[in-house]
Amino acid sequence: MTSDLIYDWNAHSVPEIPPGRRVMVLDETLRDGLQNPSVRDPSIAEKVEILHLMESLGIDQVNIGLPSAGPRAFADTEALAREIISSRMKIRPNLGGRTHKHDIQAMIDICERVGRPIEAAMFIGSSPIRRLVEDWSVDHLQRTTEEAVKFAVSAGLPAMYVTEDTIRTDPSTVVALYSTAIRAGARAIVLCDTVGHATPRGAYNLVKFVIDEVVKPSGETIRVDWHGHNDRGLAVANSLAAIAAGADQVHAVALSLGERVGNTPMEVMLVNLRLLGVIDRDLSKLKEYSEKIARATNTVIPPNYPVVGRDAFRTQTGVHAAAIAKAYKKHDVKLADAIYSGVPAHLFGLEQVIEIGPMSGKSNVVYWLGKHGITATDELIDRILSVAKQSPHVLTENEILALVPASARR
């Protein structure tokens, strides 16, 4: 596709995320995603399959669970860690837990059992509203932070320090807690929009503030992560804003699963990073990844869900179908993808689909019959269109084939 066919207002000014910027993605599906009260916790066999699909998508890091949550959680976490090691996967695991010695000890136990240190993600509430409810002082949070991070580091675990509800936490507390964690040995910090409060400007402001006021003054090499929820429907925009402000890694979950309305949707995040040129990897298994997780968690993918939904690249509308069909006649897949779609289906192992329904025209029928190896006569086209115009839904393959005489099939 030549650039003179599409004027891109998105790139009208200096790009917010410079080309060549290294950005990583952490998959929280097997931890935060499973905290959704409506999902089924997959079997360990299903989790292993999902893990391999994450690897195929080039996802950088995965939270493999909360080992302190119970015997099953501990066993699954250990099994996933062993799978990553035995299969020599590139994806890097981390373990989740509170800034409690009990939780951290469970992480240490996992590492000892598999014979490899795994990053420990330790979280603690931080916002004034949470402190009020819990009767916590900032001094208490600092002491808890220091003890937890030192405990993990002393056991040889790389420490990731997480504050919940960072986006609603006052600047002085943000500086105090993250500075304490870094002094204690944390080399990765996570800024969280735990309740989906952030706007893109808020996400940008918070990340920029922490980098300028905590990370740079520390003199240490610190990875900065952004973890966002989708309560206001802004999770992807917030994640992109966090990257623009300097975040090194963003967290996401398949199908936006997670507590309440869920987390940043992994599929949409990967699509946008790919289209922005921030990542360059094979995403042809994105739909398989999404559908596997949907089955494993008893989740239904909405038909209109971006990219992996049934209708993402599907049309019955006559004028749309005509344009797409004309593009295919030029033997130009990229043109066909771009004429009525802002997302190129071929980049994700998919293609445009033209259906026949009450909004269809002749082009729909001709294209559909051609794709199915059926000779398109004027009589057959009229017969199918007549039925379609009276139908309250898009015709199924069987409904169309029932209208096709055997002599018309090639």
Per-residue pLDDT at 257: 97
Distance CA 270, CA 253 (A): 11
| 108 — pLDDT class (breaks 50, 70, 90) | very high
Per-residue pLDDT at 12: 60
What mean pLDDT is reported for the chain? Answer: 94
| 410 — pLDDT class (breaks 50, 70, 90) | low
Whether residue 6 is predicted with pLDDT greater than 90 in this model: the reply is no
The pLDDT > 70 percentage for the chain reads 97
Whether residue 406 is predicted with pLDDT greater than 90 in this model: the reply is no
Distance CA 82, CA 140 (A): 36
CB 212 within 8 A of CB 171: no
The pLDDT > 90 percentage for the chain reads 87
Distance of CA 307 to the CA centre of its chain: 12
Give the amino acid at 54: M
What does the domain layout of the chain look like in residue ranges?
9-297, 314-408
Average pLDDT (213-239) is 98
Secondary structure class of 96 (helix, strand, coil): strand
Comparing CA positions, the residue from 62, 69, 66 lying closest to residue 48 is: 62
Per-residue pLDDT at 11: 66
In tens, the pLDDT along 119-158 reads 999 999 999 999 999 999 999 999 999 999 999 999 999 9
Residue with tokens 């309560």: 231
Distance CA 255, CA 243 (A): 21
CB-hemisphere CA count at 13 Å for 240? 20
Range of lowest pLDDT (10-14, 136-140, 341-345, 400-404): 10-14
Per-residue pLDDT at 18: 78
Comparing CA positions, the residue from 300, 371, 313, 373 lying closest to residue 344 is: 313
Distance CA 218, CA 162 (A): 17
Whether residue 168 is predicted with pLDDT greater than 80 in this model: the reply is yes
| 270 — pLDDT class (breaks 50, 70, 90) | very high
Distance CA 366, CA 356 (A): 10
Structure tokens at 354: 């033209």
| 336 — pLDDT class (breaks 50, 70, 90) | confident
User: 9-297 has which CATH code?
Assistant: 3.20.20.70
Whether residue 280 is predicted with pLDDT greater than 70 in this model: the reply is yes
Question: At 43, phi and psi to the nearest 5?
Answer: -70, 165
Average pLDDT (92-119) is 98
Sign of CA dihedral 242, 84, 300, 194: negative
Whether residue 220 is predicted with pLDDT greater than 70 in this model: the reply is yes
CB 246 within 8 A of CB 265: no
| 14 — pLDDT class (breaks 50, 70, 90) | low
Q: Look at 15 and 282; give whichever has higher pLDDT.
A: 282
Range of lowest pLDDT (102-106, 111-115, 287-291, 323-327): 323-327
Per-residue pLDDT at 332: 87
Whether residue 265 is predicted with pLDDT greater than 80 in this model: the reply is yes
In tens, the pLDDT along 344-386 reads 999 999 999 999 999 999 999 999 998 999 988 999 999 999 9
Distance CA 375, CA 407 (A): 9
